[in-house]
Amino acid sequence: MILTVTLNPSVDRALEVDALVRGEVLRAGDSHIDPGGKGVNVSRALLANGVRSTAVVPTGGAEGDQLVDLMKAEGVDMLAVPIAGRTRSNITLAEPDGTVTKINEVGPELSEAEFAEVSDAVLTAAGGAAWVVICGSLPPGPSVAAFTDLCERLVAAGARLAVDSSGPALLAGVAAGAALVKPNREELAEAVGGELRTLGDVIEACEKLRKAGAGAVLASLGADGAVLVDDAGVLTGISPVSVPRSTVGAGDALLAGFLSAGARGEAALIEGLAWGAAAVSLPGSRMPGPDDLDRTRIHIDSHPDPSRPLNRD
């Protein structure tokens, strides 16, 4: 079982529009409402592919009730921790060429007592988990020190910890000795304090995080695929998508696929890339199932060219 932790979950509404024109009245095509938050998406992707997962989520207000109902409707096993604030709602506008515009609320503030309740729920459930995966940004309220303490307690208890976050929370996971961290290109650049223009820049940045305490680094690079750096060396992979529909949740699907296949080596990277590419081909924040996966288009390179330039975002 893989335990996911989403400290700032959401209800995600995705609308498909022909073109995003500022100041105009737009008519939406298809629309979708999904449970949201990076860890929630990881659990949803795992469930869609027959892998057991439990999601820990703080929930509050009518939106929190809606989130719980949406997760139940998809069959996601969860530990919902009640909070006083209102669970946030996010809006995604997707255009036919794959361009996505997201409007994310900040989310409710978690009090010290509420964060302690969430932490206790995580630590209790972690005993039966193959992985504990903490995903997404910190909500207002909890200090970096409190988040660091949670990570350190999980590692000390013997949990295999994966952290997919940004800024101080990502660095806290690294310093705590997380077995895996999964930044995207922007998060990785921020973590090392420098621009990433080439594949070599990415590899060097991943190595810096490993030297700082992370066991392995899986960096998602959008159209440039992904890079895996661990004690076995460096692997890169690309999985082209012919008709992109939405990038929302693609990195979460990548992480879920990677974990489902053992989180190590070429086979796990192939699985992660297949899940991520499939998510890009689906609307909104839909997570792919077995019928959506295509592993034949994936190219893995164990001797990548470090001078290869990255695509411009």
Mean pLDDT on 73-89: 97
- CB contact at 8 A, 87 and 60: yes
Strand pairing category for 161-164 and 226-230: unpaired
Half-sphere CA count of 249, side-chain side, radius 13 A? 35
Active site positions, annotated: 252
Q: What DSSP character marks residue 223? A: G
For residues 178 and 234, give the distance between their C-alpha atoms in angstroms, rounded to a whole number: 18
pLDDT value of residue 283: 83
Lowest-confidence segment of 52-66, 148-162, 281-295 by average pLDDT = 281-295
The structure's pTM equals: 0.94
Name all domains of the chain by residue range, CATH numbers in brackets: 2-301 (3.40.1190.20)
Q: At 217, is the pLDDT very low, low, confident or very high (cuts 50, 70, 90)?
A: very high
Per the prediction, the chain carries an average pLDDT of 95
What pLDDT band is residue 313 in, cutting at 50, 70 and 90? low
The band of 32, judged by pLDDT with boundaries at 50, 70 and 90, is confident
| Sheet arrangement for strand 226-230 | 77-82, 53-59, 2-6, 131-135, 161-164, 180-181, 217-220, 226-230, 233-238, 299-301
Nearest CA to 256 among 228, 219, 288? 288
Strand order in the sheet with 100-104: 31-36, 10-16, 88-94, 100-104
- Give ∠ CA 257-163-173 in degrees, rounded to 5: 155
pLDDT in the model for residue 246: 82
User: Among 142, 141, 137, which residue's Cα sits nearest to residue 167?
Assistant: 137
pLDDT of residue 97: 84
Is pLDDT at 276 greater than 90 in this prediction? yes
Q: Is residue 242 very low, low, confident or very high in pLDDT (cuts 50, 70, 90)?
A: confident
- Going by pLDDT thresholds of 50, 70 and 90, the confidence category of residue 213 is very high
